[in-house]
Structure 1
Amino acid sequence: MDTFPMGHSTFGKMFEGNKLNLPNPEPLHEEDTIDVPYYFVADDAFAITENLLKPHGVGPDPFDREKRIFNYRLSRARRVVENLFGILASRFGVFQRPMMLSPEKATIVTIASCYLHNFLRKKSDRYVSLGSVDWEDANYNINDGEGHATQRDLAGLCPTFRRNVTERAKFVRETLQRYFCNQRSVPWQLKYV
């Protein structure tokens, strides 16, 4: 049974078979006693597992502040990744269409692009313009950059078949939710909920 759209890919099969060699679960903070697994951040196109977290469903109870904070914090994490892919696609044409390369060569191209990206960022302050990525102003307002993916851009993703979420996956999400609302709360998160 596929848990998310890439279930037929090598990565998806390795993910589903727990063969990605993810690090062992660890406490979120040195004072915590609960071990939390490493996880990927996803959107609604994916099914939640203990190693793949997505926001709570559309329209969580407007009075459930903790769910809204969790969704906001997860969304901020996803924006970092989306920005990187937006920058890579705008600078390196190879990312603007499917790569017709073996997985090994695609990996080399991707890693080389990341190294080149990091090199160019260090050498030039004009490599990435402020308008090309999401950015935050002094009041913590988030502004979408030119490369920000919209719901329309994501419409081609295959929907996942809904299935029952495991208790472990729910536990991981709830643990992170409490963590974001308590030990690691940030002042501006309340502005977006």
Structure 2
Amino acid sequence: MNFPPPCPLPGLNVDLPYVFLGDGAFALSENLMKPYPGDHKLNTPKRIFNETLSRSRVLSENTFGILTSRFRFFKKPIELMPEKVTQLTMTCVLLHNFLMKSSSSKNIYNPSGTLDKYDNGVFIEGAWRQQVPQNCAIRCVPHIARRSPISATKIRDNFTEYL
């Protein structure tokens, strides 16, 4: 996927790859981090990793959820050439960023309660989730247990140590 080369995080001597963030439905790999399975006690390294990963992932989910609820053509497969879909998506992302940052439009485009958030460790769904219908192209993926490669497990452990 043409990722930049691995590099160390501040304070670590180990090169770590750039990664995508996923939930438990995805297989852990060297370029896709997912949470540790199971429940973990408060303030343990695995719990801190899972909470940090979840908070980071929510940012992306909010962005795609708002894009889908505001730009309705994302609600179904887009029947255009891939190059046009890329242009269309990038245009929507730019417009989204502009509307989110503009003092005159951000409260209209993104009213209070639109975004998912955490309140004292409790996940609260944003209003955009009610605006995405069940037959939408964005769907939940079922969790499937998979054995992770040792190299991916070591990378996740290094990120956990960093956090």
TM surpasses 0.5 = yes
What residue number does 2:100 align with?
121
What residue number does 2:70 align with?
91
CA contact (8 A) 1:60 1:67 kept: no
Is the alpha carbon distance of 1:63 and 1:34 closer, same or farther for their aligned partners in structure 2, counting shifts above 3 Å? same
Flag structure 1 segments of 5+ consecutive residues without an equivalent.
1-19, 181-193
Flag structure 2 segments of 5+ consecutive residues without an equivalent.
none
What residue number does 2:47 align with?
68
Mapped pair 1:55 → 2:39 = no
The Cα of 1:108 is off from its aligned counterpart by: 0.9
Mapped pair 1:133 → 2:112 = no
Amino acid corresponding to residue 114 of structure 2 in structure 1:
S
Amino acid corresponding to residue 92 of structure 2 in structure 1:
S
Q: 1:172 aligns with which of 151, 155, 161?
A: 155
Q: What is the TM-score normalised by the length of structure 1?
A: 0.70
Amino acid corresponding to residue 29 of structure 2 in structure 1:
T
SS in 2 for 1:23: coil
The Cα of 1:61 is off from its aligned counterpart by: 4.8
Instruction: Encode CA deviations 1:105-148: one digit per residue, 9 max, x unaligned.
Output: 111110010111122223313221121112456x6765321124
What residue number does 1:5 align with?
none
Q: 1:157 aligns with which of 129, 136, 141?
A: 141
Q: What is the TM-score normalised by the length of structure 2?
A: 0.81
What residue number does 1:78 align with?
57
Distance 1:64 1:132 in 2: 29
Deviates most, 126-135 or 105-114: 126-135
